[in-house]
Amino acid sequence: MCIATWAWRAHPLYPLILFLNRDEYYNRPTEPVSWWGEPEIIGGKDCLAGGTWLACSKHGRLAFLTNFREVDVTPDAKTRGELPLRFLQSEKNPIEFAEEVVKEGHHYNGFNLIMADLWLESMVYVSNRPKDEPATFKEVSPGLHVLSNAKLDTPWPKATRLILSFEKLLKEYDREEIPEKEMLHKLMLDTMKADRENLPNTGCDPDWDYNLSSIFVETDSEKGCYGTRSMVALSIRASGEVSFYERYRDNDIWKEHSTLYRINSA
């Protein structure tokens, strides 16, 4: 399902610092972060549905999403992973694209979508949940944020734990350069589960909610092994330099790689 925390226009050296875990069934075909062709998009690829959970472009645009945890899903709904790609491939700014997405939100199962344009200093959040309400969007304010499988900044136990740890680490490094890889390991490998009495009421099996209540997930289910398969640390400097580090599971082996590039001039 995924969990992410980020600092948006809240650090003197980095307009954006993002950490994200992608949780999925181990047997779902997936490709690690790589370059996709035009318009020079970099991100992971869901080989089953063809979309992505996180991707960026050389034009300073970024998008990522999480699923909304719920009991009932529509099997033939449009793939949510197409939304980040559509934004990166479009020429619309985040607000314009959000206006487009809310009109078609009913075609998708529950999602949370974050879109940003670094040159425009604009970040927007879109969600099509709760089900009985129309899809909505809002601009994301500068500061620290967290997104799990409920609305933006919803204080689920693991979301609260993550953003507080992130805030603490940022204060430790103060105005210095951020060691993204080191910080990723400190934040996103956390396997502590929530107390059962503090679990959110999602309507799902309480044992399932409990098994997913840690930041780093590793569990079994009737459908197979499920858990964190990709961990990303993404930082963008004010100069336009981007560092994209991924630690990912390849069968039962954890691998890692990094990509450095510069955003094209506006």
Mean pLDDT for each 10-residue chunk of the chain (266 residues)? 95 97 96 86 94 96 96 92 96 97 96 97 97 93 98 98 97 90 97 97 94 97 94 97 97 95 86
Quick check: pTM over 0.95?
Answer: yes
Q: What is the pLDDT of residue 39?
A: 66
Q: What is the pLDDT of residue 189?
A: 98
- CATH number of the domain at 191, please: 3.60.60.10
Q: pLDDT tens, 46-83? A: 999 889 999 999 999 999 999 999 998 999 999 999 99
Q: What is the pLDDT of residue 266?
A: 64
Can you give the chain as a three-state secondary structure string? CCEEEEEECCCCCCCEEEEEEEEEECCCCEEEEEECCCCCEEEEEECCCCCCCEEEECCCEEEEEEECCCCCCCCCCECCCHHHHHHHHCCCCHHHHHHHHHHCHHHECCEEEEEEECCCCEEEEEECCCCCCCCEEEECCCEEEEECCCCCCCCCHHHHHHHHHHHHHHHHHCCCCCCHHHHHHHHHCCCCCCCHHHCCCCCCCHHHHHHCCCCCCEEEECCEEEEEEEEEEEEECCCCEEEEEEEEEECCEEEEEEEEEECCCC
> How many domains does the structure of the chain reveal?
1
Domain residues for the domain of 15 are 3-262
Q: What is the pLDDT of residue 133?
A: 87
Q: What is the pLDDT of residue 128?
A: 97
Q: pLDDT tens, 94-113? A: 999 999 999 999 999 999 99
